[in-house]
Amino acid sequence: MNQLAVENKPKGLRAWLDIPSVKTGIKNALGGWMNEDSFIAQLVISLNDQSLDECSEQSKFEAAHLCAALGMLPSLQQVALIPRNSKKHGCKICTVMPQWQGFQALMLRNDDVLDVNAELVHINDEYEFDPVTRQLKHKYDPFDDDRAFKSFDDIKGGYLVVKWRDKTRPDKFHFVTKKTMTQARDCSPDYQRNSNNGAIWIKWFMEQCLKTVYRNTYARRVIPIDPLVAQKLEKAVQAEDIALENDPMRIAPEDQSPVIETARIEKPASRSQQVAQSMETTSHQEPCETTTTAPPVPGQNRNQQAKKPRDNNGLHVALKDAIDSNNPDQLADFQIMAENSLAAGAIDQGVYDMLTEQASNAMEQLRAPT
């Protein structure tokens, strides 16, 4: 790639993200978690990483919106931006994969939670759970060079402990077995294809195990989550499944890991069921800058073109074209297109709200007196 292309990439991306309607959409997606200008500035720095140079601008734009919808930043290690070859579209794209730190950050946004922390248990660790006090005693030598988590041969399981701001409320423990972690790994085609050559579960074994503990904690609804935060957690689950190409239906139902506290034990909910339900209601297509909206057919009514449902990526391209056109009729057609796409199940409600608000803002700007 020549120097001119490298220099132009971040400028083009920044200019795209600085469109007023786009900034408004990002602001709404952030939901007050962070100022949109600060968020965009940090995202542009992360997206300008050399490893992402060959990724399409469209996929970077999509990644920025997804990070806003998740309320996570790569600079805080809450998500990883991973380049991936897309055979379907013939280009390299930027994918967003939440990290365990991202799941932890979302759980900490519960006002009742003081701290939430996951730990892995090594096969040589000493541990004991007291059924009377409902407390776990976990002991290990932090300076033991042999205490490493490189494979499932090294691990007994994992657990998460929740500490509440209300000091009278007892700590809450959630245990996740090695079998559950193994099932999470085995549902990833990335691992099946690359188990001997750099699969994410091989390269980042400890981190993936920790993330499984956090994901399982969310799937079991161990921590009461505000609906808005729950939406972000659900998007985080979907984003990871997309990045790892997870197919939760390829594995048997997981064992029901226990949730321990002095109050009631919550009714189990299978992680596979949770992910399957989210995938049933959310459609995803890999973004690629070569994707374009279909040109109008001669003699065909514009509204007929607008009636055709489009996926998430197609709608983003159509919105950009409508905004660039400065044509209120094209913006109106886009809103019809978005409504039909929502009705057809091609996009979810969150995507619809964000895109139609951007279209409305662009329409208002056109109507404003000069």
For the chain, state the CA radius of gyration: 23
The string of pLDDT tens digits covering residues 193-213 is 877 777 889 888 999 999 999
Band (pLDDT 50/70/90 cuts) for residue 180 is very high
User: How much is the pLDDT for 344?
Assistant: 79
Q: Report helix, strand or coil for 107.
A: helix
- Cα 257–Cα 108–Cα 37 angle in degrees, nearest 5: 135
Q: Report helix, strand or coil for 94.
A: strand
Q: Report helix, strand or coil for 13.
A: helix
Length of the chain: 370
Q: Report helix, strand or coil for 138.
A: strand
Joined together, the tokens standing for residue 350 give: 């969150």
Q: CB under 8 Å, gap of 24 or more: what pairs does 332-336 form? A: 332/363, 333/302, 333/303, 333/305, 333/306, 334/306, 334/359, 335/359, 335/360, 336/303, 336/306, 336/307
User: How much is the pLDDT for 110?
Assistant: 85
Q: Report helix, strand or coil for 161.
A: strand
State how beta strands 126-130 and 113-122 pair: unpaired
Q: Look at 338 and 272; give whichever has higher pLDDT.
A: 338
Q: Which of 31-35, 54-58, 262-266 has the lowest mean pLDDT?
A: 262-266
- Torsion angle (degrees, nearest 10) of CA 195, 197, 200, 204: 100
Q: Report helix, strand or coil for 120.
A: strand
DSSP 8-state code for residue 33? S
Q: Look at 269 and 331; give whichever has higher pLDDT.
A: 331
User: How much is the pLDDT for 363?
Assistant: 67
CA–CA separation, 244 vs 229, rounded Å? 23
Q: What percent of the chain has pLDDT over 90?
A: 25
User: How much is the pLDDT for 253?
Assistant: 42
Nearest CA-CA partner of 289 in 93, 84, 7, 38:
93
Q: Look at 324 and 185; give whichever has higher pLDDT.
A: 185
Q: Look at 18 and 296; give whichever has higher pLDDT.
A: 18
CA distances from 298 to 43, 236, 301, 322, 326 (A): 41, 43, 9, 19, 21
State how beta strands 155-164 and 135-139 pair: unpaired
User: How much is the pLDDT for 11?
Assistant: 53
Q: Is pLDDT at 319 greater than 90 in this prediction?
A: no
The string of pLDDT tens digits covering residues 67-104 is 888 889 999 999 999 898 877 768 898 988 889 998 89
When pLDDT is averaged across residues 237-250 and rounded to a whole number, the result is: 65
- Torsion angle (degrees, nearest 10) of CA 338, 341, 347, 350: 30
Candidate ranges 151-160, 315-324, 344-353; pick with highest mean pLDDT:
151-160
The string of pLDDT tens digits covering residues 100-120 is 998 899 899 888 999 999 999
List, in sequence order, the alpha helices (H) in 309-368. Answer: 312-325, 328-343, 349-367
User: How much is the pLDDT for 258?
Assistant: 55
The one-letter code for the residue type at 352 is: Y
- Torsion angle (degrees, nearest 10) of CA 148, 239, 66, 43: 20
Q: Is pLDDT at 263 greater than 80 in this prediction?
A: no
- E strands in 18-131: 79-86, 91-98, 113-122, 126-130
CA–CA separation, 87 vs 91, rounded Å? 7
pTM of the complete model beyond 0.85: no
Q: φ, ψ for residue 160 (rounded to 5)?
A: -125, 135
